[in-house]
A and B are shown apart, each in its own frame.
Chain A
């Protein structure tokens, strides 16, 4: 049988396995939306899961720690993203300059990225220990402090510390993408800049920055949506503590769902998080379409 299939049929056949996967994703997603409006409590004997309207959202906002969680999430996202974007840019610029050994350092950038989150969490937990940790030891030896700092159990320090760990783990993504984009800038542009008498700063300001800005902005959005839902690193280092000081929304959902089994409330929180991610996603999508 030599029937010629038309292009769109072939296309459909190629994407068919993925479409099935998408349906499998869509079902729990829809269910999650439904759960956020229902009385879904895993431990309750009743199996009715009655529709309760916005009750779950009301209880999310009514949680005594809701505003604290919002503040912590905002703080975490803001500083973490800022760190990833600034550090990523600086490192990319540094490794794009004409120096020996940059190839070697460039290859090191993947290390934080490749290390499993739990390994990073364990390592930093030990390194930051007030008694046995290497960091405190180093600070004491250099007489910067006289007593070990309990980085992870101090209410004021824990959040900045997990922000720093998160930056270390994820800035390589930004750095590598910016580096790739820096390498795409034609050297002739700098040549022309030098002829016109531009100094290093002016070359950056008027040649480099405009050329890498599109990629930087895309990375900014990707890092925002990636950071706002971060979970495992923070959870494994502090479990949200001390006194909920590092309790970002991802941890709160996890606790509500899998510790207290309040799946309805957890879904409601999940919906809030998803809407925020979605807003940034739309911005990104629009931006991509305009450029592509």
Chain B
């Protein structure tokens, strides 16, 4: 009986280790590819860890130029399109989510259904007419057009998460603030939002990564080197007859590591939010 128990325990730990490896190994591989020379990747002498560590690929990423633009231009483009729109989307969605949960009004159900529906909808369906509009108005290849699309697709998702969040939040503090003569909007900005900061940041992060990792919208809307975002620029290391793998992996690491760190930091709030949004 006791032996069976120990065996069970051992099996359990073995499984946990396997799961950990499956989750973690790709990240290790990413960094390990980024920290070796390209010639060491295109060789039959395959290794998990590089023979000689080198940061030259990272240096290449920073010095790489394409059509007069470089990493910092693309980095700025990505930050602008994903960052500003994430903040705006979070704010607009917070207003909407708050209004929906705290007030009763006609058309409330319709409002809710629309939020719900837009999350189910394939974005491709919006992108096709949006693309034809951009072609007609000569607004293709603009960071504004790209950012605008992120704003639009982020707002319903963020609002959905906010509704789940505010539902589980008591209204007593805002009511107390209102008693003290705070305006409704004042209470919202001074009480509701500050109290929601952890969840607010998690929602903003969700919105941010939509643009940060996006390929669908950017590959359709952006057509020139100076307007590329990081996911598109990543492909610049691929030529007709060559692929600079370590440079790709170095740039991919730069794109990935901060996001993974933020996810780990905000994990608890993200999970609570998602869990709150799927069971009303």
B197 proximal to A (CB < 8 A): no
Chain B contact residues, CB within 8 Å of chain A? 9, 12-13, 15-16, 19-20, 22-24, 26-27, 29-30, 33, 41-44, 46, 48, 92-93, 95-96, 98-100, 102-106, 108, 111, 113-118, 120-133, 135, 151-152, 155-156, 159, 184, 209, 212-216, 219-220, 231, 234, 245, 248-249, 252, 255-256, 259-260, 262-264, 267, 270-272, 274-275, 278-280
Contacts of A126 in B (CB 8 A): 33, 41, 245, 249
B96 touches A115 (CB 8 A): no
Contacts of B152 in A (CB 8 A): 21, 24-25
A7 touches B103 (CB 8 A): yes
How far, in angstroms, from A241 to B120 measured CA to CA in the complex? 27
A278 touches B120 (CB 8 A): yes
Of all chain A residues, which has the CB nearest B253?
A119
How far, in angstroms, from A156 to B30 measured CA to CA in the complex? 27
A105 proximal to B (CB < 8 A): yes
Q: Shortest CB–CB separation between residue B175 and chain A, in angstroms?
A: 13
How far, in angstroms, from A277 to B125 measured CA to CA in the complex? 12
Contacts of B22 in A (CB 8 A): 168
Binds B, one of A76-84, A201-209, A250-258: A250-258
How far, in angstroms, from A263 to B133 measured CA to CA in the complex? 12
Given A18-B96, A117-B215, are A263 and B132 also a contact pair (CB < 8 Å)?
Answer: yes
Contacts of B15 in A (CB 8 A): 94
Contacts of A18 in B (CB 8 A): 92-93, 95-96, 111, 115, 155, 159
Binary contact readout A85-126 vs B (1 if CB under 8 angstroms, 0 otherwise): 000000100110101011011011111111111111011101
How far, in angstroms, from A278 to B117 measured CA to CA in the complex? 8
Partner among A11, A107, A134, A173 whose Cβ is within 8 Å of the Cβ of B29: A134
Contacts of A127 in B (CB 8 A): 26, 29
Between-chain CB contacts (< 8 Å), 19 pairs: A8-B103, A14-B100, A32-B129, A35-B129, A102-B16, A108-B24, A111-B27, A114-B256, A116-B212, A116-B231, A117-B213, A122-B249, A127-B29, A131-B44, A177-B275, A229-B123, A250-B122, A270-B125, A284-B120
Partner among B24, B43, B117 whose Cβ is within 8 Å of the Cβ of A132: B43
Among residues 239 to 259 in chain A, which have CB atoms less than 8 Å away from a CB atom of chain B? Answer: 250, 253-254, 257-258
Q: Shortest CB–CB separation between residue A6 and chain B, in angstroms?
A: 9
A270 touches B12 (CB 8 A): no
Partner among A117, A122, A134, A284 whose Cβ is within 8 Å of the Cβ of B248: A122
How far, in angstroms, from A111 to B257 measured CA to CA in the complex? 10
How far, in angstroms, from A263 to B120 measured CA to CA in the complex? 22
Binary contact readout A215-257 vs B (1 if CB under 8 angstroms, 0 otherwise): 1001100100100010110011000000000000010011001
How far, in angstroms, from A40 to B128 measured CA to CA in the complex? 11
With contacts A25-B126, A32-B125, A110-B260 known, what are 14 further pairs, Cβ within 8 A? A11-B103, A14-B103, A15-B105, A29-B129, A94-B15, A108-B23, A110-B267, A115-B27, A118-B231, A123-B249, A132-B41, A177-B275, A180-B275, A274-B122
A31 touches B129 (CB 8 A): yes
Of all chain A residues, which has the CB nearest B276?
A180
Of all chain B residues, which has the CB nearest A137?
B46
Given A108-B23, A116-B212, are A288 and B280 also a contact pair (CB < 8 Å)?
Answer: yes
Contacts of B23 in A (CB 8 A): 105, 108-109, 111-112, 172
- What is the interface size of chain A, counting residues whose CB is below 8 A from a CB of the partner? 95
A281 proximal to B (CB < 8 A): yes
A48 proximal to B (CB < 8 A): no
Q: Shortest CB–CB separation between residue B61 and chain A, in angstroms?
A: 14
B132 touches A116 (CB 8 A): no
A42 touches B128 (CB 8 A): no
Of all chain A residues, which has the CB nearest B9?
A99
A193 proximal to B (CB < 8 A): no
Contacts of A101 in B (CB 8 A): 16
How far, in angstroms, from A284 to B22 measured CA to CA in the complex? 31
Among residues 1 to 46 in chain A, which have CB atoms less than 8 Å away from a CB atom of chain B? Answer: 7-8, 10-15, 17-19, 21-22, 24-25, 28-29, 31-32, 35, 40, 42
Of all chain A residues, which has the CB nearest B155?
A21
Binary contact readout A174-216 vs B (1 if CB under 8 angstroms, 0 otherwise): 0011011100000000000000000000000000000000110
Most chain-A CB neighbours within 10 Å: which of B23, B99, B103, B216? B23
Q: Shortest CB–CB separation between residue B194 and chain A, in angstroms?
A: 18
Question: What are the 5 tightest A-B residue pairs by CB atom distance, in nearest-first order?
Answer: A14-B99, A11-B103, A116-B213, A18-B96, A137-B46
A51 proximal to B (CB < 8 A): no
How far, in angstroms, from A288 to B278 measured CA to CA in the complex? 8
Given A32-B126, A115-B27, are A110 and B116 also a contact pair (CB < 8 Å)?
Answer: no
